[in-house]
Amino acid sequence: MSVELIAYGAFFLTMALTYAIMCLGLNVQWGQTGLFNVGIAGFVAIGAYVSALLTTPDAAGRFGGFGLPIVAGWLGAALAAGLVAFLIGALTIRLRADYLAIATFGVAVAVQLCALNLELVTGGPFGIGFIPRPFASLAGDPLAFSLANLGVLVLVVLALYLALERLLRSPWGRVLRAIREDETAALALGKSATRFRLQAFAIGGAIMGLAGAAQAHFIGFIAPDNYMPMLTFQVWAMLIVGGSGNNRGAILGAILVWGIWAGSAGAIASLFPPGEQARAASLQIVMIGVGLCAILLLRPRGILGEVKTVSRHIGRLAGKPVSEP
Amino acid sequence: MPSAADAPRPTSSAAAMPVEARDLVRRFGGLRAVDGMSIALRQGEMLGLIGPNGAGKTTLFNLIAGSLKPTSGSIQISGEEVSGEGPERRIAHGLGRTFQIPRPFPEMTVLENVLTGGQSQAGEHIWRNFLQPGRVAAEEKAAVDRARSLLDFVTLSGLEDEPARVLSGGQRKLLELARILMADPETILLDEPAAGVNPTLLEIIIDRVLDLNARGKSVLLIEHNMDMVARLCGRVVVMAAGRHLAEGPPAEVARNPAVIEAYLGGVAA
């Protein structure tokens, strides 16, 4: 295999893993808790902008540029997105699922419009550039640079996966499932549905913010156009394809759907004359939509469905699949 | 975050009854489902609540359990006013309930259903799962042991790995009983534990409820099965049209003309 191919593979996987992080966040909210968040793009955008502001060098005519280390940017991104999710949740978590969806969608649109118009903070439509990239010193060697970035993302995804699996199989995860299955019964057992939902919503939001930061630093440039509702749709498609409620499914779905997305972009570039490519790009969305329908018809629980999780302290049944109803 | 269940419960003085509701009113639009009802459950007592269909028993029950808020009136549990609190705070006051139509968590195993009843577990706090994994594991192991002995108590031991949705109606009632016992309430509200249960399981349920009462739990029981009420309860309260109609020993109440009238009137209406 040529060096270019490996470098491209690493680039592709790194990008896919940033989506996998978003997908893991959505899985906490929807897969485990049943919270219908249709504003993923908003939380990702908050993470991206916060980390960009914290880590870029001081810029003339724009607020911030604090020049902090990348790690501080990523932590700040997760904290900020988690805090925003907590505040939005505190206002809306009591709403029925469909109203929560409307509320989160509205928040995402508002965040995107803020990014577009708060030029003093966000750079407006031109966005923020020169976001420091991890291992920038290796940039001269594309292969080493790509592999080092991939390594960071693999570590982040792995750490998140292990932490979320631990929570999923803990008494905390058990209460989330109980609330999802029968809130009235969970309340009668003394479980505050509001408190647990709010926690899950904030954790999911923080993870989405982290994903936004990781993506921003990997690409090095962000603009409001990156955070349109299309992003939310993509992440939902990833989770549904991979298997809602299953952390491994979330990661697999992200890689698969991103593969289809990136592959179809390449195919369109080679199949259509340059004048038609902009219009042909809509075919990408069509392909994701058709793929989603196929999965919903053929494997409604996704490629890796939710597994029957039990406390990791009992352990004997871990991994036994839930039988189809 | 310290939960309320960690706090010591007030020692029950002679005055503080496990449950004391006064002048409860609950309106649904123009209907007064509970209309100035008072009821008191004494310490260690097994009290039956009976009445014709539509008398407001389940509404009263839901008011006491916190699932509904009263339009007016007061509810005290062990002397503490709770009428403004939500249902999730009742367990902290030592009050547990079952449902008329059982509500197991269908996709969770029988054992996990019971484990969910556990109170003040470290593992329900996110950070403790990472910062105090030893404490979480030790508590969870103790909880599993306790849940297994409760499943043994309600004769469901053999089914602990099955999802709760495969259980029969009677088994679900037993599972709910084990699940609420996991929370170790001092007072238990049972909503028609005999309804739709086959005679064998019914004997087990009656036996277990008697056993719990003998161990000092106060029990408030809604039941249509008069035979069961007569066997379990020393005192019954009769409700009709949202109000207190009569109370006394089961045999005496069954002869009360007003009670007979209410039941027959209920049938005729």
pTM of the model: 0.88
Is B189 an 8 Å CB contact of chain A?
no
Question: What are the phi and psi torsion angles at A173 (to 5°)?
Answer: -65, -35
Inter-chain touch B86–A313, beta carbons under 8 Å: no
d(CA A189, CA A183): 10
Is B52 an 8 Å CB contact of chain A?
no
Are the beta carbons of B174 and B204 closer than 8 angstroms? yes
Whether pLDDT at A321 is above 70: no
Contacts with B, A 134-163, CB within 8 Å: 163
Measure CA B239 to chain center: 18
Enclosing domain of residue B217: 19-266
User: A-B interface: how many C-beta pairs under 8 angstroms?
Assistant: 110
Chain B positions touching A203 (Cβ under 8 A) are 126
Measure CA A167 to chain center: 18
Q: Which of A63-67, A105-109, A308-312 has the lowest mean pLDDT?
A: A308-312
Instruction: Let me know the angle formed at the C-alpha of A290 by A288 and A291, rounded to the nearest 5 degrees.
Output: 60
d(CA A204, CA A247): 13
Contacts with B, A 162-191, CB within 8 Å: 163, 166-167, 170-172, 174-175, 177-178, 181-182, 184-191
If one counts every other C-beta atom within 10 angstroms of the C-beta of residue A312, the result is 19
Provide block-wise average pLDDT over 10 residues at a time, chain B (269 residues): 46 70 92 93 94 89 94 93 92 93 93 94 93 93 94 92 92 94 94 86 90 94 84 92 92 88 64
CA distance B264 to chain A (A): 34
Residue B1 lies in a domain: no
Chain A positions touching B146 (Cβ under 8 A) are none
Q: Provide the CATH number for the domain around residue B173.
A: 3.40.50.300
Per cent of chain A over pLDDT 90 is: 55
Helix (H) or strand (E) holding A148: helix A142-168
Tokens 């409620």 sit on residue: A245
Inter-chain touch A182–B105, beta carbons under 8 Å: yes
Strands (E), chain B: 19-28, 31-41, 46-50, 72-77, 80-81, 95-97, 187-191, 218-222, 235-240, 243-248
Inter-chain touch B105–A185, beta carbons under 8 Å: yes
Is B126 an 8 Å CB contact of chain A?
yes
Inter-chain touch B87–A192, beta carbons under 8 Å: no
Closest CB to B92 among A170, A190, A314: A190
A-chain residue closest to B109, CA distance: A310
Specify whether the backbone of B79 is left (phi greater than 0), alpha (psi in -120 to 50) or beta: left
Beta bridge partners, B42, equal none
Q: Please give the pLDDT value at position B15.
A: 60
Specify whether the backbone of A249 is left (phi greater than 0), alpha (psi in -120 to 50) or beta: alpha
Beta bridge partners, B163, equal B109
Chain B positions touching A170 (Cβ under 8 A) are 123-124, 129, 136
Tokens 């939005």 sit on residue: A88
Mean pLDDT, residues A295-301: 85
Place A235 in a pLDDT band, splitting at 50, 70 and 90: very high
Q: Which of A1-10, A231-240, B126-135 has the lowest mean pLDDT?
A: A1-10
If one counts every other C-beta atom within 10 angstroms of the C-beta of residue B165, the result is 13
| Counted domains in chain B | 1
Q: Report domain extents, chain A.
A: 1-228
